[in-house]
């Protein structure tokens, strides 16, 4: 009985022990061990210079003690967060732990997640997430060894081994990072941008990164990376695809060395190597690429302009240079493009050498080829200094999509049938045109400017602030040539000064230099090009323009239905502000003389002309009206006319004219009534006097007087040009009889009635 009781008691005790152990295991696994255990382990890690904060310690029946939510700091004051780990398996010598001796043998990470701050001093500003971290970490006196470490970082499988010597000096190492010779904010931004780019890369097949790491924390600048190797068979980013990506790198003696970096795509290859001296902050590199950079970089910040480029063949790029400790660039390179387009404008090629140092840059040996021609030159841009040398044989009208709006308005008036050739050398404090000075030359082939063609043109020019001076101008047309010089105000885009001599049609010169004169020259026809002298000057905002026309070969002035051919004359044209005045004082028409004046008070206003005749043979004039057909005689008097610039229907005229030695028998208007006039005592020859006003197609005649011998016929009335109807009436020899003319201009009906005498 006693033995049975003992046996039952023993089994009951064992059951209670098992239950207690089970409860302790459950409590340790779910609730975690108390603060005392966390303090013991935190002190244990402090032996190795690792100042940690453990969120919870749990007991795993298979893995032992598990530290969860671990934060590692650089010092006991927890100034800088070094990393965060979700769980750590601890291999502890419990006997030594309770005796306060070294008790931590190793740390085992299995599937852990690490959060590493990009900026130790501001851990919340950005962190890198490392997942599936596996490693066996051995803690020996004076060193820590990481063996068989592997993890995933943004699709890259990392395999690494590391040795840390003197881990208790980790605070010194962190301080060294804080005192990096590169400005910390710039460096951190660079590192953050690098990880941002890594996050956006996709891998068709997993990429692998392997390296071995060694560091003496007592001398934090003495650390090494050996046998660094990155391999990625297929990489995709923003729609672009790279294949066979491979890199070899190392770090020693405070220098990171990228021994090789290689990648390919469908267009070409990429090679690069470089170094980063962490002691001086200097970064050197060499790059050679024939990749499709437009596809690769079009969605990157700062490369939006690449979306406007289209490459038939990938560009070839060579770069070599350095980035100083403040990331100031010192770069030289070469660029070669073939068959590409920008904003839809196709080019055949571009070659250039370029360099940059700090805020200064230069492009030399630039050669841009278009189907219309080639542009070569160089550009130097330094703070406070800009220089441009250019030789262009390219038609600018073919690349209007690339030009700023200020040039488009100027080019809209040009039509180059052959590409112009331009040479220029400009300097200034900035690329702004108002800051540039310099000189150049220009040669034009067959060209139309403002609708007027020229066979060729040339000139030299000098650019000053807000002003372009063009000298040695030489323009050739079929009828002759023009030479001279002029100045253009870039602020107003108006002609400031002009001096020119020409043997050209005046309308052509007006179109080029003073288009407001064109409505006037619509009334002047020159059978042959006259000799011209042009002058323009601007004073106090007032522009005065003058043109002298030596018309030895004659000119025809068109005045409504009348054309006045002047055999020889000289004309002076003046424009002041908006008022235009033309004077032809002593024109010759046969044996007679004629003077013409024309005035326009402001743009788009009507042209007011006055023609004075002095015994001009009517047969020398050209009259386009049946009303005056067949008249012969000597014309004197004046004719005033007004011509609308845009609406000819409102043209008007008034005149007081006398036709001496008028042949009444040959005038078509008088011929139907000539016999009746003869019966009234008129001779074949006589004098015609007319006072009239014409407006809106209606000719109002206040006096039309026919005088022959001792007889006079006075008529008045109107002629409607729209219907050709005539309505005239009057008296013969005062009260000797009455006369009336009706019908039409081409078939007038004359009626002369004499009073019956008793």
DSSP assignment of 476-496, as one string?
Answer: EETTEEEEEEEEEETTTTEEE
Confidence of residue 12 (pLDDT cuts 50, 70, 90): low
Confidence of residue 238 (pLDDT cuts 50, 70, 90): confident
> Does residue 307 or residue 123 have the better pLDDT?
307
β-strand 467-477 against 480-489: which pairing, if any? antiparallel
Confidence of residue 124 (pLDDT cuts 50, 70, 90): low
Does the structure show a pLDDT above 70 at 80? no
By the 8 A CB rule, do 547 and 531 touch?
no
Which DSSP symbol is given to 756? P
* pLDDT in the model for residue 180: 54
Q: What is the spatial distance between Cα 484 and Cα 591, in angstroms, rounded to a whole number?
A: 37
Does the structure show a pLDDT above 50 at 28? no
Mean pLDDT (whole number) for 264-291: 89
Does the structure show a pLDDT above 70 at 94? no
* pLDDT in the model for residue 483: 95
Which DSSP symbol is given to 26? H
Most confidently modeled range among 290-304, 306-320, 450-464: 450-464
> Does residue 590 or residue 61 have the better pLDDT?
590
CB within 8 Å of 453: residues ≥ 6 apart:
446, 447, 477
Interval 645-658: pLDDT, tens: 777 767 889 999 99
The total of other beta-carbon atoms located within 10 Å of residue 187's CB is 18
Mean pLDDT (whole number) for 730-744: 85
Mean pLDDT (whole number) for 40-57: 66
The total of other beta-carbon atoms located within 10 Å of residue 551's CB is 23
CB within 8 Å of 410: residues ≥ 6 apart:
493
> Does residue 531 or residue 63 have the better pLDDT?
531
Confidence of residue 494 (pLDDT cuts 50, 70, 90): confident
* pLDDT in the model for residue 466: 83
DSSP assignment of 701-728, as one string?
Answer: EEEEEEEETTEEEEEEEEEETTTTEEEE
* pLDDT in the model for residue 427: 93
What six digits make up the tokens of 745?
A: 């201009």
Least confident segment among 214-228, 254-268, 690-704: 214-228
Interval 547-564: pLDDT, tens: 999 988 889 998 888 889
3-state secondary structure string, 643-695? ECCCCHHHCEEEEEEEEEEEECCCCCCCHHHHHHHHHCCCCCEEEEEEEEEEE
Does the structure show a pLDDT above 60 at 45? yes
Does the structure show a pLDDT above 70 at 10? no
Which DSSP symbol is given to 755? P
Interval 457-483: pLDDT, tens: 999 999 988 889 999 999 999 999 999
* pLDDT in the model for residue 36: 60
Confidence of residue 697 (pLDDT cuts 50, 70, 90): confident
* pLDDT in the model for residue 25: 45
Q: What is the spatial distance between Cα 425 and Cα 497, in angstroms, rounded to a whole number?
A: 23
Most confidently modeled range among 145-154, 507-516, 602-611, 733-742: 507-516
Closest C-alpha to 473, from 489, 488, 452: 488
> Does residue 244 or residue 91 have the better pLDDT?
244
Q: What is the spatial distance between Cα 366 and Cα 339, in angstroms, rounded to a whole number?
A: 16
Strand partners, 542: 539
* pLDDT in the model for residue 8: 60
> Does residue 144 or residue 126 have the better pLDDT?
144
Q: Which strand (E) or helix (H) includes residue 14? A: helix 2-30
* pLDDT in the model for residue 23: 43
User: For residues 261-284, b (16+ Cβ closer than 10 Å) or e, as one string?
Assistant: bebbbebbebebbbebbbeebbbb
First to last CA, the chain: 195
Least confident segment among 64-73, 438-447, 483-492, 550-559: 64-73
* pLDDT in the model for residue 27: 45
Does the structure show a pLDDT above 60 at 30? no
By the 8 A CB rule, do 615 and 636 touch?
yes
C-alpha dihedral over 380, 381, 385, 386, to 10 degrees?
A: 60
DSSP assignment of 504-515, as one string?
Answer: S-HHHHHHHH-G
| Sign of the CA dihedral with 737 first, then 740, 741, and 743 last | negative
Average pLDDT, the chain: 82
Confidence of residue 215 (pLDDT cuts 50, 70, 90): confident
Interval 703-728: pLDDT, tens: 999 888 788 889 999 998 888 899 99
> Any idea what the Cα angle at residue 633 is, between residues 627 and 735, rounded to 5°?
70
Confidence of residue 137 (pLDDT cuts 50, 70, 90): confident
* pLDDT in the model for residue 380: 94
Does the structure show a pLDDT above 50 at 308? yes
What six digits make up the tokens of 411?
A: 């080019």
- Can you tell me whether residue 212 is helix, strand or coil? strand
Interval 354-381: pLDDT, tens: 999 988 999 999 999 999 999 999 999 9
Interval 588-635: pLDDT, tens: 998 899 999 999 988 778 889 999 999 999 888 888 877 778 888 899
β-strand 240-252 against 255-264: which pairing, if any? antiparallel
Does the structure show a pLDDT above 50 at 570? yes
Q: What percent of the chain has pLDDT over 70?
A: 82
By the 8 A CB rule, do 181 and 281 touch?
yes
* pLDDT in the model for residue 24: 45
By the 8 A CB rule, do 598 and 640 touch?
no
Does the structure show a pLDDT above 50 at 21? no
């Amino acid at each position: 009985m006693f033995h049975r009781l003992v046996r039952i008691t023993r089994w009951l005790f064992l059951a209670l022990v098992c239950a207690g152990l089970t409860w302790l295991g459950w409590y340790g696994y779910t609730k975690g061990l108390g603060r005392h255990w966390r303090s013991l382990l935190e002190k244990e890690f402090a032996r190795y210079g690792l100042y940690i904060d453990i969120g919870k310690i749990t007991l795993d029946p298979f893995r032992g003690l598990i530290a969860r939510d671990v934060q590692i700091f650089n010092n006991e004051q927890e100034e800088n967060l070094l990393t965060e780990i979700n769980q750590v398996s601890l291999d502890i010598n419990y006997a030594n732990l309770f005796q306060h001796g070294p008790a931590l043998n190793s740390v085992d990470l299995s599937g852990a997640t690490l959060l590493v701050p990009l900026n130790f001093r501001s851990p919340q500003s950005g962190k890198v997430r490392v997942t599936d971290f596996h490693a066996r970490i051995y803690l020996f006196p004076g060193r820590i060894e990481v063996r068989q470490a592997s993890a995933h970082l943004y699709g890259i499988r990392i395999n690494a081994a590391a040795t840390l010597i003197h881990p208790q000096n980790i605070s010194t190492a962190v301080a060294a990072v804080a005192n990096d010779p590169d400005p910390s904010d710039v460096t951190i931004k660079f590192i953050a941008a690098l990880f941002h780019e890594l996050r956006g890369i996709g891998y068709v097949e997993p990429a692998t990164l392997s390296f071995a790491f060694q560091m003496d924390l007592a001398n934090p600048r003495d650390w090494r990376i050996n046998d660094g190797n990155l391999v990625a068979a297929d990489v995709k980013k923003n729609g672009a695809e790279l294949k066979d990506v491979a890199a070899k790198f190392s770090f020693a003696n405070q220098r990171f060395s990228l021994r090789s970096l290689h990648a390919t795509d469908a267009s070409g290859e990429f090679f690069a190597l470089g170094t980063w001296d962490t002691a001086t902050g200097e970064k050197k590199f060499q790059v050679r690429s024939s990749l499709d950079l437009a596809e690769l970089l079009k969605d990157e910040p700062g490369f939006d302009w690449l979306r406007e480029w289209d490459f038939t063949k990938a560009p070839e790029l060579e770069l070599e240079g350095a980035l100083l400790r403040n990331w100031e660039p010192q770069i030289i390179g070469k660029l070669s493009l073939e068959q590409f387009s920008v904003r839809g404008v196709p080019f055949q090629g571009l070659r250039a050498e370029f360099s940059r140092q700090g805020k200064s840059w230069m492009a030399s040996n630039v050669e841009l080829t278009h189907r219309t021609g080639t542009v070569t030159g160089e550009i130097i841009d330094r703070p406070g200094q800009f220089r441009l040398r250019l030789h262009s044989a390219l038609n600018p009208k073919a690349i209007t999509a690339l030009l700023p709006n200020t040039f488009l308005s100027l080019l809209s008036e040009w039509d180059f049938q052959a590409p112009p050739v331009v040479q220029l050398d400009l300097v200034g404090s900035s690329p702004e045109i108002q800051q540039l000075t310099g000189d150049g030359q220009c040669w034009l082939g067959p060209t139309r400017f403002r609708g007027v063609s020229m066979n060729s043109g040339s000139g030299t020019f000098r650019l000053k602030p807000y002003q372009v001076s063009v000298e040695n101008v030489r323009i050739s047309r079929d009828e002759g040539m023009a030479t001279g010089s002029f100045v253009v105000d870039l602020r107003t885009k108006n002609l400031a000064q002009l001096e020119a001599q020409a043997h050209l049609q005046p309308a052509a010169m007006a179109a080029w230099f003073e288009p407001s004169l064109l409505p006037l020259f619509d009334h002047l026809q020159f059978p042959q090009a006259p000799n011209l002298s042009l002058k323009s000057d601007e004073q106090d905002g007032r522009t005065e323009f003058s043109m002298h026309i030596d018309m030895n070969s004659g000119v025809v002035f068109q005045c409504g239905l009348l054309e006045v051919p002047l055999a020889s004359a000289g004309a002076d044209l003046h424009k002041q502000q908006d008022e235009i005045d033309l004077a032809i004082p002593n024109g010759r028409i046969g044996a007679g003389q004629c003077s013409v004046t024309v005035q326009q008070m402001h743009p788009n206003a009507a042209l007011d002309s006055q023609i004075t005749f002095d015994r001009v043979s009517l047969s020398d004039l050209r009259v386009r009206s049946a009303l005056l057909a067949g008249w012969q005689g000597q014309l004197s008097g004046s004719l005033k006319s007004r011509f609308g610039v845009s609406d000819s229907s409102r043209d008007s005229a008034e005149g007081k004219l006398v036709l001496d030695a008028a042949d009444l028998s040959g005038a078509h208007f008088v011929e139907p009534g000539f016999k009746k006039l003869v019966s009234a005592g008129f001779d074949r020859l006589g004098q015609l006097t007319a006072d009239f006003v014409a407006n809106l197609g209606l000719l109002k005649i206040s006096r039309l007087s026919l005088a022959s011998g001792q007889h006079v016929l006075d008529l008045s009335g109107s002629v409607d040009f729209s219907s050709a109807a005539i309505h005239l009436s009057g008296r013969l020899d005062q009260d000797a009889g009455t006369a009336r003319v009706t019908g039409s201009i081409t078939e007038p009906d004359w009626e002369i009635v004499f009073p019956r005498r008793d």
